Amino acid sequence: MLGVRDVRRVAWRRLHAPHHYLGYLTITDELISLSGREEPTGIGVSLSIPCAAVTRTHTGTLPEEQLAGESTVVLEVADGVPIVVRPVGTNDVGLESLARKLNAVIHLTPTEGRARARSALPRLGWRGSASA
């Protein structure tokens, strides 16, 4: 895997989702990839976020931002629901290390370039009709 900056075991979820996923976070120069399995149901998911789509990160200390009562790194995504991530089996030093790695790739792309690229994307929406 070329350009991989970090791979680690994490728990993660969308901010207001009731359950979290246990899996892996992969950070490359262009993407932040999350994969995981929801323990109660066994459902597996994968999510790839372009680094340019992350508007900022912060440490999640509010109750709704925590996972199992632990602080997280919150990824705020342009036009989307934030994602909370917590390294598995580490302390706050591991959380700070993850935050530094994420911020390093997020800031590789200039903010102005992100705004142009984001606004240039077509808006796709569900219209309630399906094609055969």
- The pLDDT score that the predictor gives to residue 2 is 59
Positive or negative: CA dihedral 50, 53, 55, 61: negative
Could you tell me the pTM of the whole model?
0.77
User: Which 3 state secondary structure label does DSSP give 118?
Assistant: helix
Question: Does 89 fall in a domain?
Answer: yes
- 51 within domain boundaries: yes
- Let me know if residue 128 belongs to a domain: no
pLDDT in tens, the chain (132 residues): 457 889 999 999 999 898 999 999 999 989 999 999 998 899 999 999 999 999 999 999 999 999 989 999 999 998 789 999 999 988 888 899 999 999 988 875 444 344 333 333 333 343 444 443
Asked whether residue 122 is domain-assigned, the answer is no
Q: What is the pLDDT of residues 18-43, one digit of tens each?
A: 899 999 999 998 999 999 999 889 99
Whether 74 and 15 have beta carbons less than 8 Å apart is answered as yes
Whichever domain contains 9, its CATH number is: 2.30.29.30
Q: Residue 124: inside a domain, yes or no?
A: no
What is the extent of the structural domain holding 103?
Answer: 4-110
Number of domains the chain is built from: 1
d(CA 32, CA 52): 10
